[in-house]
Amino acid sequence: MSTIPYNKKNVIVLPQTNQLRGLYSIIRDQSTKRGDFVFYSDRIIRLLVEEGLNQLPVEETTIKCYGDHEYQGAKFLGKICGVSIVRAGESMEQGLRDCCRSVRIGKILIQRDEETAMPKLYYEKLPEDISERYVFLLDPMLATGGSAMMAVEVLLSRGVRMDRILFLNILAAPEGIEAFHASYPDVKIITGGVDEKLDENKYIVPGLGDFGDRYYCV
């Protein structure tokens, strides 16, 4: 995993602890079986969701405890929902549900147009009140950023404020971060790691292969 520092506003990289490096060592390994890949990817996804929740605004509140004691705590402000970029982003939905009971989930399908090689929107299904929510945009890999940027355009067209979008991904390429951040500086990128680069085929290096295939098929 890269040691490239990302100190830009709204680019948050999970602390590179020994535990996290161990998890990535498992899911990057081409010999890892699908069951282990899914299990350890889910652990990373849970960490990403927890960090996303850390970014939400709260207000101070006083709680009455047993024995008539008081606790100075906090409660979240506003509603949230998840939006997955189909299909790989759907792998992250359960991690969000594990942390947030009854959370609403929307979906956006974007695929590459074979004639133009550009991302094309094929389908969207989003909560009707999404403009009133904080949105966790879910896609495990941030490579060129093309699909994610189109997804953000869909959210903005539905009235979601840019500063209420949190984009969660397991791995990111520097080129994707730069392109995405240049267009949407107020969207928080929360990633588990930043790799070295994109190769000539626009794959993340060293990466972990095709995430969707490894999670659902292999």
- pLDDT tens-digit readout, 134-167: 999 999 999 999 999 999 999 999 999 999 999 9
Residue 32 included in any domain: yes
Residue 2 included in any domain: no
Instruction: Note if 112 is an active site residue.
Output: yes
Residue 3 included in any domain: no
- pLDDT tens-digit readout, 8-41: 789 999 999 999 999 999 999 999 999 999 999 9
DSSP conformational letter for 194: B
Nearest to 209 by CA among 138, 140, 112, 144: 140
Looking at every residue in the chain, the average pLDDT score rounds to 93
How far apart (Å, rounded) are the C-alpha atoms in residues 106 and 126?
4
- CA angle at residue 173 from 47 to 40, to 5 degrees? 30
From the candidates 98, 144, 158, 210, give the one annotated as an active-site residue.
210
Residue 176, CB half-sphere, CA atoms under 13 Å: how many? 30
List Cβ neighbours of 163 (8 Å cut-off, separation of 6 or more).
Answer: 186, 187
pLDDT at 116: 67
Helix (H, G, I), strand (E, B) or coil at 206: coil
Residue ranges making up the domain that contains 162? 11-216
Among 82-86, 119-123, 203-207, the range scoring the smallest mean pLDDT is: 119-123
Residue 181 included in any domain: yes
Instruction: Note if 17 is an active site residue.
Output: no
Residue 1 included in any domain: no
Instruction: Note if 195 is an active site residue.
Output: no
Residue 192 included in any domain: yes
Q: Residue 22: beta bridge partners?
A: none
Residue 200 included in any domain: yes
Q: Residue 191: beta bridge partners?
A: 13, 169
From the candidates 29, 36, 129, 213, give the one annotated as an active-site residue.
213
How far apart (Å, rounded) are the C-alpha atoms in residues 27 and 29?
6
Residue 112 included in any domain: yes
From the candidates 36, 61, 112, 163, give the one annotated as an active-site residue.
112
From the candidates 3, 68, 101, 116, give the one annotated as an active-site residue.
116
Instruction: Note if 186 is an active site residue.
Output: no
How far apart (Å, rounded) are the C-alpha atoms in residues 161 and 140?
22
Total tally of structural domains belonging to the chain:
1
- pLDDT tens-digit readout, 42-78: 999 999 999 999 999 999 999 999 999 999 999 999 8
Burial class (CB in 10 A: 0-12, 13-18, 19+), 155: buried
Residue 35: which CATH number? 3.40.50.2020
pLDDT at 3: 45
